[in-house]
Chain A
Amino acid sequence: MSETRQTADDGQTTTDSEPDGVSAGTDQPLEVTSGETRERTRDAWVEHEFEGDAKLSVSDLDVYYGDDHALKGVSMEIPENSVTALIGPSGCGKSTFLRCLNRMNDRIKAASIDGSVRLEGEEIYQEGVNLVELRKRVGMVFQSPNPFPKSIADNISYGPRKHGDLDTGLLANLLGRSDDDAVDELVERSLRQAALWDEVQDRLDDNALGLSGGQQQRLCIARALATDPEVLLMDEPASALDPIATSKIEDLVHDLAEDYTVVIVTHNMQQAARISDQTAVFLTGGELVEYGDTDQVFEDPQSQRVEDYISGKFG
């Protein structure tokens, strides 16, 4: 089992893989990808100063999949109405971190989570949290486009209809209480936000599976926006798409940051540099190594390992 120790003198955090094998004075973690420089992570590297309030604050988050320690003592604050990119090599825990923010990891039976995640100061890992409400406020878009096998309009209105916010059922229709107009409005607004309206406005009743991959992914974004979330989590939303579709998604993310807090996982470092305001770098072993302003992280990283990773020496 690994553990995180706070050394009293300099406030540095050392992460070891084995408690007895390496003493507190040894500053080299054992688990490194070949080609990685060995170094100690420092608390200062993950401190990111920003103006305004933190939308999400994570502190000391540990995630285990069975015996596997997937995320080690991650703490970070995510500012409101901005784009935060999470980058790092495969298996570094960035997707796991993302799925902790709306408790999607609850759906994995082997996962156990320890630590604290606060949404606007409210702890989401406590008794009595309403997962429906949480996931309405923290929406998610997945790696591969996964529209439901329903019509485009039904995909968009699915969330609000199931939440009971909109009612288009037979009974509502009979009683004259149907929200058909509100649904049409919602569909148009969400599709416009996701920059898909112009392409699909003539075929809203067609099956969503008939759209191209890029359109499907924007439909998924529109579907997530339809529940009016505050935070939008995106798990490599463009990794399965061609360059043109990718650039559309990137533009969209950029626009969305005006009204939403976007947290996006990506494999593509150029993409992170292009679209994000701040960047968090996770490295092998599930630790957050550096977090800060995107320009600073990419141009002047404090960690040698991060610099090596960004310049393509490993990972």
Chain B
Amino acid sequence: MAGATESTLVSEDTTETEAVAAGAVGLAAVLFALSLAAMFELVTITDPIAGVPMVALLGGLLVLLGLAVVGFGVGSRLGYVATDPRPTAGLVASGAFALVWFVVGGLVASQTLGLGTAGWVVASLVTGGAAFAMSALPREDIGSTLPAGALAAFAGIVFLTGVIGPSWVWDLGWEQQASFNAEFTIPVLTGFCSLLVGWAAAKAYGGFGARGRHIGAYVLVYLNALSIIAVLFLLVAFTVLKGLPGLFNGLAFGAGAGPEVTLVGVTFSLPLSWPFVMNGVALLNDVNGVLPAIAGTIWLVIGAVLFAVPLGVGAAVFITEYADRGRFTQVVEVATNGLWSTPSIVFGLFGLAFLVPRLGNQKSLLAGMLTLGFMLLPLVVITSRESMLAVPDEYRDASAALGVTKWQTIRSIVLPAALPGIVTGIILGVGRIAGETAPILLTMSGSVAPPGSQTVDVVGGFQFSLAPPFVTNPELMRATSALPYQLYSLITAGVGQSSNIGAIDEFRWATALILLVVVLGFYAIGIATRYYFRSKLQHE
């Protein structure tokens, strides 16, 4: 089968070589997962696994994989393995390999061997050029396996020989004292090399050629997508793990355990005591909590949504349905896009300089709501407009042909059809504004760690009188706290260290967790709403 270039229509049962190649791909995936785990310190690189230190294990696996991949390439070239390679690995792969080896050569020459500028440039050019020639000139099976396998084997040997060991530190020699340590470098190198050999092994599994390239790309894309999900999951899990101890401090169940509340004139005790979300910060509290900040955040988001959504949707209706498409709509579009990319601190300054002096001349919940509403407005306009444009014109024609007026068509046909899109926009916007710190800092922040008695009660704050303005709500005019602001000031300003918050670290992480839960809660509400409206539009 030397130089087998003919391909069969029906492939035989899985051959041994294919099984070994698939095993190599799987091993590369495991290695990649290990490197991720090491990066996030789920495992430390010095820990022994089955008696072997982690570094040695990683190095050994890399050498094994590198040799296996090179073995595949050589075996295919010599005709021991039936494959269908192209004449060359291609310019992109060659260029990538050249770049990688250029960097490797340069680093080894300058950092390990300590050569000067001329030395590392020459070494870089030699290794880079060799890698390019190695992958571009020979047939694809050699060209795509040899440089990858060699790199993995080289990295493995470096780990095994302890050139880069657990105590290794790369001092960059800059003024700023920057350095990379082994805890970071080893996982990164391992992850990169495992991706590279994984790709080469996947190509070998596909027998090179078009099918091999397809499988190689598939493995790369798949591993990357998985790693993104893993990062997201780790981030949430990290926050949850760190936040849980502080969150459930002093949790108690049972009749009469909780604080007394008055609902519709009836006073009773809640059967649950959850100090962290039911208390503020006060001297006499057993466990301090963030109730004022939670209430502040929730009311902020509600106020901003109530302010921005009607305005934004109305503006979008006007520019999509009524205004002639022309210069005016273009200007509005550019303005809304620009407003959406305006930094939040600018909105905050606007709120401080414009809203605060006009609304009672003090920082207040209302000023915060309006400032965040201004921030939310452009996204609501943009997404509402997009989703209204996506409503097919056939609906408008059909409605017009039935003799229904434009406004009724918009209200009964266009808006319902656009609602899922509008809700998506609101979800995205709420996700942004709920976590904003700067505008809150400037427009509504009160004390850093407010006591529970300072919780805003917007619903209960309404006061009615016979004289104008008839309805007032002092609660809206009060400075209060919000979760992101509280977190920010607890961390940066060091406030709270001195006050009576006991375990400050637990308190911070629990606050972060509560913020995450509140934002995700708004997300969940939004997604459920969107699902509801969408299911009304679709059959089944």
A binding-site residues for B, Cβ under 8 Å: 102, 104, 107, 109, 131-136, 139-140, 142, 144, 146-150, 158-159, 162-163, 206-210, 220, 223-224, 227
- Interface size of B by CB at 8 A reads 23
Across the interface, do B539 and A135 meet the contact criterion of CB distance under 8 Å? Answer: no
- With a 10 A CB-CB cut-off, give which of B394, B395, B398, B536 has the most chain A CB atoms: B398
Q: A142-B401, A158-B404 are in contact. List 14 more A-B contacts (CB 8 A).
A: A132-B403, A132-B405, A139-B402, A142-B398, A149-B536, A150-B416, A159-B402, A159-B404, A162-B402, A207-B540, A208-B539, A209-B537, A209-B539, A227-B403
The answer to whether residues A107 and B400 also contact, given A146-B394, A149-B537 and a CB cut-off of 8 A, is yes
Q: Verify B403–A134 contact, CB threshold 8 A.
A: yes
Q: Which residues of B contact A227 (CB under 8 A)?
A: 402-403
B47 within 8 A of A: no
Instruction: Kindly state the separation between the CA atoms of A144 and B402 in the bound complex, as whole angstroms.
Output: 16
Shortest distance from the beta carbon of A243 to any chain B beta carbon, whole Å: 24
Q: List 18 A-B contacts (CB under 8 A).
A: A104-B400, A107-B400, A109-B324, A131-B403, A132-B403, A135-B400, A135-B402, A142-B394, A142-B398, A149-B416, A149-B417, A149-B536, A158-B412, A159-B402, A162-B399, A209-B537, A209-B539, A224-B402
CB distance from B287 to the nearest CB of A (A): 47
In the assembled complex, the CB of A190 is this many whole angstroms from the nearest CB of chain B, namely 12
Query: Given the complex of chains A and B, what is the CA–CA distance between A135 and B401 in angstroms?
Result: 6
CB of B237, distance to nearest CB on chain A (Å)? 40
B492 within 8 A of A: no
Give chain B nearest CB distance to A246 CB in angstroms: 20
Q: Which residues of A contact B537 (CB under 8 A)?
A: 149, 207, 209
Binding site for A on B (CB under 8 A): 324, 392, 394-395, 397-405, 408, 412-413, 416-417, 536-540
Bound: A148/B537 CA distance, A: 9
Q: Tell me the complex Cα distance, A162–B402, Å.
A: 9
The smallest C-beta distance from B99 to any residue of chain A, in angstroms, reads: 52
Task: Determine whether the beta carbon of B401 is less than 8 Å from that of A162.
Answer: no
Structural contact, B397 and A223, CB atoms closer than 8 A: no
Q: Are B538 and A146 in contact (CB under 8 A)?
A: no
CA–CA, A226 and B416, complex, Å: 22
**List of B residues within 8 angstroms of A206 by Cβ:** 539
Picked from B397, B403, B412, the residue with its CB within 8 Å of the CB of A142 is B397
Minimal Cβ-Cβ distance residue in A for B539: A210
Complex Cα distance, B402 from A206, in Å, reads: 22
> In the complex, what's the smallest C-beta–C-beta distance from A99 to chain B, in angstroms?
9
Is A135 in contact with B398, judged by CB distance below 8 angstroms? Answer: no
Q: A149-B538, A159-B404 are in contact. Are A220 and B416 (CB under 8 A)?
A: no
B399 cross-chain contacts in A, Cβ below 8 A: 148, 158, 162
Which listed residue, A133, A207, A209, touches B403 by the CB 8 Å rule? A133
Cβ of A254 to closest chain B Cβ, rounded Å: 22
Considering the complex, give the chain B residue whose CB is closest to the CB of A203. B539
CB distance from B146 to the nearest CB of A (A): 57
Closest 5 CB pairs of A and B: A210-B539, A135-B403, A146-B394, A207-B539, A140-B401
- CB-CB under 8 A from B416, the residues of chain A are 149-150
Q: Is the CB of A220 within 8 A of B398?
A: yes
CB distance from A305 to the nearest CB of B (A): 32
Q: How far is the CB of A79 from chain B (nearest CB, A)?
A: 23
Do A148 and B539 contact each other (CB < 8 Å), given the known contacts A104-B401, A107-B400, A142-B397? no
Contact partner of A163 among B398, B403, B413, CB < 8 A?
Answer: B403
Q: Which residue of B lies closest to A137 (CB)?
A: B403
Report the Cα distance A133→B403, complex, angstroms: 7
Q: How far is the CB of A122 from chain B (nearest CB, A)?
A: 16
Report if A104-B402 is in contact (Cβ < 8 Å); known contacts: A149-B417, A162-B412, A207-B538: no
Q: Return chain A residues, CB-CB under 8 Å to B397.
A: 104, 107, 142, 146
Q: How far is the CB of B93 from chain A (nearest CB, A)?
A: 48
Contacts A142-B398, A146-B394 known; A210 to B540 CB distance under 8 Å? yes
Collect the chain A residues with CB atoms within 8 Å of residue B539's CB.
206-210
CB distance from B532 to the nearest CB of A (A): 14
Q: A142-B394, A149-B416 are in contact. Are A163 and B404 (CB under 8 A)?
A: yes
Residues of B within 8 Å of A147, CB to CB, are 398
Complex formed: what's the CA distance from A150 to B324 in Å? 29
A6 to chain B, nearest CB (A): 35
B414–chain A nearest beta-carbon distance, Å: 10
Nearest Cβ distance between residue A137 and chain B, in whole angstroms? 8
Which residues of B lie under 8 Å from residue A220 when comparing CB positions?
398
A209 is contacted by which of B394, B405, B538 (Cβ under 8 Å)? B538
CB closest chain-A residue, reference B537: A149
Contact (A136, B403) CB under 8 Å given A144-B394, A146-B398, A220-B398 = yes
C-alpha spacing A104/B512, complex, angstroms: 58
CB distance from A148 to the nearest CB of B (A): 6
Closest beta carbon of chain A to B413's beta carbon, Å: 6
Are B404's CB and A132's CB within 8 A? Answer: yes
Of A104, A142, A162, A208, the contact of B404 (CB 8 Å cutoff): A162
CA gap between A227 and B402 in the complex, in Å: 7
Q: How far is the CB of A269 from chain B (nearest CB, A)?
A: 26
Chain B residues with CB under 8 A of A146? 392, 394-395, 397-398
**Distance in angstroms between the alpha carbons of A300 and B400 in the assembled complex:** 40
Of B394, B400, B403, which is in contact with the most chain A CB atoms at under 10 Å from its CB?
Answer: B403
- Cα(A139)–Cα(B395), bound, Å: 15
